[in-house]
Amino acid sequence: MFKMFRYLGEGADIYYKAFPTTWDATSEIGKKRIIKLKETLRKHLPIKEGKALDVGCGTGISTFALEELGFEVIGIDIRKEAIHQAKEIAKERGSKAKFYFMDAKRLEFENESFDLVTLLGSPLPHFSVYDFDEITMEAYRVLKPKGVLVIEYIDTIKGLYSWHRDVFVEGLLISIYKGFNSVEGLEERFFINLNNGTTFSVKFYLWAPWIAEFILRKAGFEVQSHYIREDSFDSGG
C-alpha cells in the first residue's frame, strides 16, 4: 500500500519537534518571541529583580527573556533534549542562566529560595489538574513569602465555545479538532505536517481561569488575574 503520510503517534515531544522554529531560541521566530515576551513581562511583572525559576523553559526563550530583564534565572524542563539545547544556546549567548532537567512536581530546590516562579509559553495544556496542583504546591514551597508566581495560559474552555472546531494553519503545519473528552478534561487535535509528510495527535488538557485560580488558592496563593492578550494562538512571529 502506498502511504503518502506517516503517522508518528501522539505526544508533546512530537508536537514540539514539529514547530522547531517556534520553540528554538536561536531561530528568527524564537528571537522575536524573546523580545515580545520581555515587553510583556516588563509591563506586567510586579517584581523587577531577584532569583527566578522558569518552569517548562524549553530551549530557553522565556529564561533568556527573564535574564535580560535582570533576573538571576534557573530554567527547568522535563524534556531532556530541550534542556540540552538550552545549555548549548546559553553558551553561544554568553548567558549565565542555569538549565536543569527536572520534574516541576518534585523541585530539587530549598524552601523559600526564589523571588519569582514562571510558567511561560502556555504549558498548562500539558498538565492535568493533578499535575498543576502538585506543581503549584511545589512553586509555593520554593517561593519566598513575598514571592510571585506568573503563569501564561490559554483559556481553552472559552475556546470550546469559539475556536474549538477550527482548523489552524501555521505555515505547512495543519491542526484539526479530533475529539473532546470532558471526563478526562482533554481535547485531542490531529496535526498534518506538510513539510515532511508526517501526521500526529496531541491531547491537550482543558483550562480556564476559574479552575486554575481554585488550585492556586488551595495552594495558598493570592490570585491577581491579568489577561494580557486575546490572540491565543499567537506564536510570536
Binding region for its own copies (CB under 8 A): 128-130, 133, 155, 157-158, 160-161, 164, 180, 182-185, 206, 208-211, 214, 217-218, 225, 227
Give the length of the chain. 237
Pick the closer one to its own copies by CB: 42 or 44.
44
| 50/94 Cα distance (integer angstroms) | 19
- CB 163, min distance to its own copies, A: 12
Given a contact cutoff of 8 angstroms between Cβ atoms, the answer to whether 176 and 145 are in contact is no
Determine the Cα angle at 175 with ends 172 and 178, to 5°: 155
- CB 178, min distance to its own copies, A: 13
Separation in Å, CA 122 to CA 54, 156, 203: 12, 11, 15
- CB 120, min distance to its own copies, A: 20
Pick the closer one to its own copies by CB: 88 or 131.
131
Count the Cβ atoms, other than its own, within 10 Å of residue 199: 19
Start-end of H helices in 12-128: 12-18, 20-23, 28-44, 61-68, 80-93
Pick the closer one to its own copies by CB: 45 or 157.
157
Pick the closer one to its own copies by CB: 81 or 133.
133
- CB 182, min distance to its own copies, A: 4
- CB 119, min distance to its own copies, A: 18
| 165/179 Cα distance (integer angstroms) | 9
Pick the closer one to its own copies by CB: 114 or 207.
207
For 112, phi then psi, to 5°, come to: 50, 45
Strands 6-10 and 173-181: unpaired
Determine the Cα angle at 65 with ends 228 and 229, to 5°: 10
- CB 89, min distance to its own copies, A: 36
Pick the closer one to its own copies by CB: 101 or 180.
180
